[in-house]
Structure 1
Amino acid sequence: MIVWLNGAFGAGKTTAAHELLDLIPGSTLCDPALIGTALRDMLPKERLSQVDHYQQLPSWRRLVADTAAALLTEVPGPLIVPMTLLRQEYRDEIFGALAARRIPVRHVLLHADETILRTRIDQTDDTAGRPDRSWCRGQLTAYRAALGWLTADAHTVETSRLTPRQTAEEVAGALREGAGTLEIVQTPEPKAETVAAGVLLFDEHDRVLLVDPTYKPGWEFPGGVVEPGEAPARAGLREVAEELGLRLKSAPRLLVTDWEPPRPPGYGGIRLLFDGGRLAAEEADRMLLPGAELRGWRFVTEAEAAELLPPVRLERLRGALRARKTGRSLYLEAGVPVGEQNGRDAA
């Protein structure tokens, strides 16, 4: 099990984590900041100059989950992880990777008043390996902006007037009562290329439906991996029923076949997008989301989708919208129609 202590810089995560080691038998400290320090030592300066903090490195986020899984082969657990996570997509990526390894997560937010946070930050030593104090103060705005999803996702412990020991005692007591438990779908990481089927659903204004997974970053289309021996179109229908509680009346029409190249750590594979047709307003109102898998949905325009989808999914969507308009399905490679890809290669 992972006990993830979240909160702004100055909330007392590290000191509370050390106190928790005395209160929770078998617990071990797992500090992701050490992974960030190691990456700063190993990565070239050119790469490091492209980010403001090591959390922006995909390698850091993957190594956090990998390291936790490796540590739990050596110690009984739980692992106490004191680390600020203010971006929900990073939370989804790391916690989803842990869930894929069948590692449960307890998410605890240590919260303090901003005046107290500023005082604690100002009293922090500027020692090697610690974030700069001015940088920490600058993150308070991001913390305020993140409080909405943080308080909904994590069990909150108010630390403004607590000592580190008292904070740890509050956390330990809450954990014994099951607080902070997260229900995240346990989607195993692929070990080879996969075939995935997505279904595009539209509202009466021709906006497309996107869903927000809890177990990976970025928005997505309803759908999922095709099971062995399963027809892709049927897989798309199954996923729509499982994810949204909708049972489509007819088989969806294929819009796009997209070959996604392998990009470590991903294996790529074939990605299919089908046209599920328009949903009436009353159908949309009946949608039910599985909380362990999806936290939200929305109908969006193509321009709005560009703000939500990762680039590879956005190009796939654009190809699908084009195919839907022309009535002819498209074959893509890495989101680009093959004829256009050949033209780009020649250029």
Structure 2
Amino acid sequence: MIVWLNGTFGAGKTTAAQELLDLLPGSVLYDPELLGSGLRLMLPAKRFEEVDDYQDLPSWRRMVVDTAAALLTEVPGPLITPMTLLRQEYRDEIFGSLAARRIPVRHVLLHAEETILRQRIAQREQSPGDAAAHASVRRWSLAHLEPYADALSWLKGDAHVVDTSHLTPRQAAERVAEAVRSGAGACEIVQTPEPTAETLAAGVLLFDDQGRVLLVDPTYKAGWEFPGGIVERGEAPGHAGVREVAEELGIELPSTPRLLVLDWEAPQPPGYGGLRLLYDGGTLTDDRISKLLLPDAELRDWRFVTEAEAERMLPPVRWNRLRWALRARERGCPLNLEAGVPVG
């Protein structure tokens, strides 16, 4: 298990984490910031100039998961992880990958009002040590107050909140330990096993009466996607698409939809690639749209978008697949793609 202590600077994550080690038997401190420091030593400086923070590096997010899994082969856990995580898509990617490895997460937000946070940041600067270094940390900490405020709407809905405004580090840790023992902060993310070989996946395109296509926002990974999923062993791909639409959105398609695109996705480590099929699920009436369901553990949101809007929302590989699927729908003839390029 991982007890992820979230919150901005001044909320008391580090001090509460140290106290928590005494309260949760077998627990060890796991600080992903060390992975960021290591990447700074290993990656070219030019790479860091391209990002605002090491959390923007895909390698850091993957290492967070891989290192946690490795640590849990050495110690019983839980891992106490005091780490600010304000971007929801990064939370999805990291927590979803942990869920895929069957590593449960308790997400706890240590929160304090902004006036309290500013007082604590100022007190840190007045402590003994390098004045220039303290000033740099203070600027960094203050700069993160606004992004933290912006993230509170989803953080409070996702995590168990412990208000540390008037708590000592020990008291905060006791509240966290009590929450962990009661199961609070559990992240009910769908556990999609990480592939170990090439996979076959079926997606279904659904449209509204304006010709816009439906995209969904999974909780277990970053980015928008088409309704659909991995084809199970012995299952027909078209049936898998119908099943996934019913499971994800509560929509029962009357028959197997028409194939639009078959795309071979090239393996790109750590991904294995495989075959990706997109089907035409047809146009949904306003009545059916009003009855769309979202399973909390799997999908956060859905949206009908134009082709231009989809280009801004989808990663390039999915956007390219959608682009050709829409052309195939216009022509009434399926397309065979290899790595997103039509063949034959």
TM-score (normalizing by structure 1): 0.93
- Aligned pairs for 1:33-44 within 5 A: 33-44=33-44
Query: Superposed, which structure 2 residues align to 1:1-347 within 5 Å?
Result: 1-124=1-124, 132-338=137-343
Cα displacement (A) at 1:308: 2.2
Question: Using the alignment, how far apart are the partners of 1:129 and 1:222 within structure 2?
Answer: 49
The alpha carbon displacement at 1:52 in A equals 1.6
Q: What secondary structure does 2:108 align onto?
A: strand
| Equivalenced residues, count | 339
Q: Contact between 1:240 and 1:247, CA under 8 Å: does it hold in 2?
A: yes
Given that residues 106 and 182 in structure 1 are in contact (C-alpha distance below 8 angstroms), is that contact kept between their aligned partners in structure 2? yes
Q: Aligned pair in 2 of structure 1 residues 131, 292: CA closer, same or farther (>3 Å)? A: farther
User: What is the root-mean-square deviation of aligned Cα atoms in Å?
Assistant: 1.8
Question: What is the rounded CA distance, in whole Å, between the counterparts of 1:254 and 1:186 in structure 2?
Answer: 28
Instruction: In structure 2, give the amino acid aligned to 1:234.
Output: H
Q: Per the alignment, in what secondary structure is the counterpart of residue 139 of structure 2?
A: helix
Contact 1:37 1:129 in 2 (8 A): no
The whole-number CA distance in structure 2 between the counterparts of 1:21 and 1:195 is 44
Task: In structure 1, give the amino acid aligned to 2:4.
Answer: W
Distance across 2 between alignment mates of 1:294 and 1:104: 18
Report how far residue 335 of structure 1 moved: 2.6
Q: Alpha-carbon deviations, 1:28-81, whole Å to 9, x = none? A: 111000111111111111212211211011111011111111111111111111
Inter-partner Cα distance in structure 2 for 1:4 and 1:248: 40
Q: In the alignment, is the contact (CA less than 8 A) between 1:9 and 1:117 conserved in 2?
A: yes
User: Please, which runs of 5 or more residues in structure 2 have no aligned partner?
Assistant: none
Q: Shift of the alpha carbon at 1:148?
A: 0.9
In the TM superposition, residue 93 of structure 1 has moved relative to its aligned partner by 0.6
1:161-204 per-position Cα deviation (integer Å, ceiling 9, x unaligned):
11111111111122222210111111110011111110000111
Secondary structure at 1:86 match in 2: coil
Give the superposition deviation at 1:131: 7.7
SS at match of 2:60: helix
**TM-score of the aligned structures, taking structure 2 as reference length:** 0.94
Inter-partner Cα distance in structure 2 for 1:242 and 1:115: 45
In 2, distance between residues paired with 1:87 and 1:294?
A: 17
Distance 1:290 1:66 in 2: 27
Q: CA deviation at 1:130?
A: 12
SS in structure 1 at match of 2:197: coil
Give distance in 2, aligned partners of 1:179 and 1:130: 37
Identity of aligned residues (%): 72
SS at match of 2:223: coil
